[in-house]
Each structure stands twice: as structure tokens, then as C-alpha cells.
């Protein structure tokens, strides 16, 4: 997975090198301020999406996270082993939509 900066985000559009930093624009939620909205490659935000994966892979990753959270939340004893939670969540994500 890429580092969670604008440079590794699918919404970042590189424009120019400025003061030794990659400079560009966010196509999702640009920051507000100054004469125009722009970002540096090392900026971060809450709208980050990994540009190295497809939208389908992103959707599956989010579904696995939701299933994992549900599994952990439904374990009152808190004894679910972490690797088993993620493995089971991935199985649920793969099975979803096949019924």
C-alpha cells in the first residue's frame, strides 16, 4: 500500500515541481485558502484513496474492513485472534453477492 499522502492518492493530479516538492491539485476535496486550491505531494487528508489499486479492489478492501469490525464488535469476550478476524472477514467479502 502506498504512503497515505497526496502523492499516493488517486485524486491527486501532479502539475509542477515547486520549491523541491511535487505540486498539484486534488480532484476530490481540495484544501481551501490562498489564491487557488492546491496540494503538495506530501500533504494528507481524510479522502485518501490508494491509486495503485482498482476501484473494485478498493470496494472489496472497505467491505473486508466493515466485516472485520462487525466480527470484533460481536465478540463479547474479546478473544477473537486478529489474523482469524481478517481471514473470516475476507471470506465474507468474497461470498457476498454470490447467494
Structure confidence by residue, pLDDT tens digits, 67-98 = 888 888 887 776 667 778 888 888 888 887 66
Output the pLDDT for position 35. 47
Does the pLDDT value for residue 26 go beyond 60?
yes
Domain ranges (residues) in the chain: 1-51, 55-95
Report the distance separating Cα 15 and Cα 30, nearest Å: 14
Q: Is the pLDDT of residue 38 over 50?
A: yes
Query: In the chain, what percentage of residues exceed pLDDT 70?
Result: 84
* Predicted pLDDT of residue 42: 84
User: Which position has the grid cell 515547486?
Assistant: 18
Is 6 buried (19+), middle (13-18) or exposed (0-12) by CB count in 10 A? buried
Amino acid at each position: 500500500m502506498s504512503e497515505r499522502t497526496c502523492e499516493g492518492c488517486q485524486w491527486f493530479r501532479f502539475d509542477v515541481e515547486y520549491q523541491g516538492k511535487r505540486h498539484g491539485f486534488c480532484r476530490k476535496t481540495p484544501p481551501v485558502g490562498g489564491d487557488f486550491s492546491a496540494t503538495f505531494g506530501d500533504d494528507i487528508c481524510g479522502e485518501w484513496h490508494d491509486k495503485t489499486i482498482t476501484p473494485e479492489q478498493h470496494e472489496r478492501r472497505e467491505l473486508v474492513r466493515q466485516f472485520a469490525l462487525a466480527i470484533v464488535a460481536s465478540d463479547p469476550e474479546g478473544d477473537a485472534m486478529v489474523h482469524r478476524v481478517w481471514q473470516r472477514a475476507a471470506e465474507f467479502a468474497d461470498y457476498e453477492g454470490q447467494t
